[in-house]
């Protein structure tokens, strides 16, 4: 699965590196295609624009038609377009085919990220996702190494070498196509679309393979279940309501992370070769050596730091990598403008900066792929990729292309300061709005839209003491997201008497559920208690609020740092 799906980032890294490396070659008189220095940056912007559109179109179809169908279609689009790019004879042909190449790659992001996250165990999802996204830089290193040979005029003519570079990507993509045909559809997607037998068959096959390969029986699953109402597709209105209505803070978070990393990467990397050739007089045939070093640093970041995103946590690691890389880039911009850097020291500085930035950027894709319900996962990835990359990825390369064309270091340094500032700001947003999704099931982070709803919002018994509520199994404790502002089928004005009364009844009900669980099974940590009471259905942060209210009523006490017990339970203090 990782070989067939994760390799899309190798293709993307290969594509971006080739364009960055051949940029100076395309501007030569005998290249066979007439492109100016500024148009190299424009071509990068066109590629990103195609990726944004492709992400939206194919992302919607991925949620509607399935992960497997779309990751075969998007790879096919890429294959055809990259071949046509290699036979372009003028700037407009080059732009058009780069646009369609971008569409294929953009569609890949939505289909692949959703498929990988839905098939990877929660305990290592962050590690695997970062390493897979970081494999982009393996493609970068391969592309850089290839250009050292293919762009050498002693090996291939100037008008032939750059064309062979693009055809090389098509050869790799064709091999990936054969591997992908053996990858199963996501069982999660199949379940929500009513294809239960096929989903069960896939999971049974995985379980049998694990048992036969390890010689051990799998443990019995826990009692946590979700009742699903299958439906063929979720409408765009429902998707929009979920992304922008139910999770507004998560939406701000996703946009911040994507805009920051997209501007930084697309601005710096698409014009990497131009900076080396313009300001440091590096020959175009030697750019590949510097690109390889840059790529190695970027790959090592997710590879080495990836495990910390599961162990230390999403919030501290994402915020730390974003803020640190932003500060270091600002320092590098000052040194660049002062003229104290050489081609070698500039590359070393970039390697260190992007060691951290690469891990953070990979975590941006991880974040938006796990914080929304399953039915909107692919379109959510596509939306944030399109908007974030559209703002940062199109403006960045075009802006840097024109700044570098002035040949004034100060102008380029301003661009670096903008990129560093956006990364720093995104890191601050992560501190306040980040989601602690490490080692949690996707359904614990965001309940599926198609999960069955059961009305249990009846008023709690009145009197001197409330009878403990029976702990519900496999049902929602109440039928609305905690922060959605909707109660049952009725829209209620915030602050109205009806809203306050309904909220009181729901809170009483949830406190009853918590107390019943603590009396039945004894003291528990918040994470263990969440599993007992099904708090993943209650909305983000709701269990913490319920425990705070229960403690204020002296019905629950905290024992130690993160252990809770019913007040009237034996041994509680």
323 or 517, higher pLDDT: 323
486-566 CATH = 1.10.10.10
Compute the average pLDDT of residues 504-523: 85
Q: How many CB atoms lie within 10 A of CB 228?
A: 18
Rounded Cα distance, 516 and 514, in Å: 5
Positions of CATH 1.10.10.10 in the chain: 486-566
Percentage above 90 pLDDT, the chain: 22
Residue with tokens 């009806």: 498
Least confident of 41-50, 91-100, 217-226, 405-414: 217-226
Angle at 103 between CA 98 and CA 107, to 5 degrees: 150
Rounded Cα distance, 186 and 202, in Å: 9
Q: State residue 566 phi and psi, 5-degree precision.
A: -70, 140
Confidence check: pLDDT of 426 > 90: yes
Buried b (16+ CB within 10 A) or exposed e, 503-526: eebbbbbbbbbbbbbbeeeebbee
pLDDT of residue 338: 93
Q: Angle, to 10 degrees, between the axis of helix 343-370 and the axis of helix 91-119?
A: 50
Confidence check: pLDDT of 484 > 50: no
Rounded Cα distance, 192 and 228, in Å: 7
Buried b (16+ CB within 10 A) or exposed e, 197-216: eebeebeeeeeeeeeeeeee
6-25 tens-digit pLDDT: 777 787 778 777 776 777 77
Q: What does the block give as tokens for 348?
A: 């070393």
443 or 334, higher pLDDT: 334
pTM over 0.85: no
Rounded Cα distance, 373 and 17, in Å: 34
How far the first Cα of the chain sits from its last, in Å, is 51
Positions of CATH 1.20.1250.20 in the chain: 2-197+238-442
Q: What does the block give as tokens for 518?
A: 């603590």
Task: Please check whether the domain covering 2-197+238-442 is classified as CATH 3.60.20.10.
Answer: no
Confidence check: pLDDT of 279 > 70: yes
pLDDT band, residue 476 (cuts 50/70/90): very low
Nearest to residue 240, comparing CAs of 479, 542, 449? Answer: 449
pLDDT band, residue 501 (cuts 50/70/90): low
Confidence check: pLDDT of 309 > 90: yes
Q: What does the block give as tokens for 500?
A: 């306050």
pLDDT of residue 368: 92
Least confident of 84-93, 96-105, 433-442, 493-502: 493-502
Angle at 369 between CA 542 and CA 451, to 5 degrees: 55
């Amino acid at each position: 699965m990782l070989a067939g799906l994760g390799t899309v980032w190798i293709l993307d890294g290969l594509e971006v590196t080739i364009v960055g490396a051949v940029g100076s070659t395309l501007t030569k008189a005998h290249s066979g295609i007439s492109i100016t220095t500024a148009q190299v940056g424009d071509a990068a912007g066109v590629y990103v624009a195609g990726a944004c559109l492709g992400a939206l179109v194919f992302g919607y179809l991925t949620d509607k038609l399935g992960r497997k169908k779309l990751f075969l279609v998007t790879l096919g689009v890429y294959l055809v377009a990259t071949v046509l790019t290699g036979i372009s004879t003028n700037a407009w042909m080059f732009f058009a085919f780069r646009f369609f190449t971008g569409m294929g790659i953009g569609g890949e992001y939505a289909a692949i990220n959703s498929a990988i996250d839905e098939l990877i165990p929660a305990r290592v999802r962050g590690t695997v996702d970062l390493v897979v996204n970081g494999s982009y830089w393996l493609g970068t290193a391969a592309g850089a190494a290839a250009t050292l040979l293919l762009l050498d005029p002693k090996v291939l003519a100037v008008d032939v070498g750059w064309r062979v570079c693009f055809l090389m990507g098509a050869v790799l993509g064709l091999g990936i196509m054969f591997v992908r045909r053996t990858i199963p559809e996501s069982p999660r997607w199949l379940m929500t679309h009513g294809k239960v037998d096929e989903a069960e068959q896939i999971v049974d096959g995985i379980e049998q393979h694990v048992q036969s390969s390890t010689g051990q029986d799998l443990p019995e699953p826990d009692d946590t279940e979700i009742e699903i109402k299958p439906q063929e597709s979720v409408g765009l209105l429902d998707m929009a309501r979920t992304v922008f209505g139910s999770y507004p803070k998560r939406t701000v978070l996703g946009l911040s992370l994507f805009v920051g990393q997209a501007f930084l990467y697309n601005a710096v990397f698409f014009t990497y070769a131009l900076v080396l050739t313009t300001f440091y007089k590096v020959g175009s045939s030697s750019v590949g050596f510097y690109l390889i070093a840059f790529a190695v640093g970027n790959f090592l970041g997710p590879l080495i730091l990836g495990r910390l995103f599961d162990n230390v946590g999403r919030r501290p690691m994402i915020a730390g990598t974003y803020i640190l890389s932003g500060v270091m880039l600002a320092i590098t911009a000052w040194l660049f403008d002062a003229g104290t850097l050489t081609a070698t020291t500039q590359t070393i500085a970039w390697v260190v900066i992007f060691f951290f930035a690469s891990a953070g950027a990979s975590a941006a894709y991880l974040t938006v792929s796990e914080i929304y319900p399953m039915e909107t996962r692919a379109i959510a990835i596509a939306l944030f990729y399109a908007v974030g990359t559209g703002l940062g990825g199109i403006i960045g390369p075009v802006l840097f292309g024109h700044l570098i064309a002035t040949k004034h270091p100060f102008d380029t340094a301003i661009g670096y300061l903008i990129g560093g500032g956006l990364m720093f700001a995104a890191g601050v947003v992560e501190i306040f709005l980040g989601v602690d999704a490490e080692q949690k099931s996707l359904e614990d982070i965001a309940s599926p839209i198609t999960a069955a709803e059961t009305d249990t919002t009846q008023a709690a018994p009145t009197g001197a003491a409330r009878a403990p509520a029976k702990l519900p199994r496999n049902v929602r404790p109440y039928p609305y997201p905690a922060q959605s502002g909707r109660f049952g089928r009725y829209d209620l004005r915030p602050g109205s008497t009806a809203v306050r009364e309904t909220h009181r009844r729901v809170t009483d009900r949830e406190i009853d559920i918590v107390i019943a669980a603590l009396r039945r099974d004894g003291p528990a940590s918040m994470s263990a208690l969440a599993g007992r009471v099904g708090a993943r259905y209650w909305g983000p942060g709701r269990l913490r609020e319920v425990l705070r209210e229960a403690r204020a009523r002296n019905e629950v006490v905290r024992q130690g740092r993160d252990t809770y017990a019913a007040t009237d339970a034996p041994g509680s203090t």
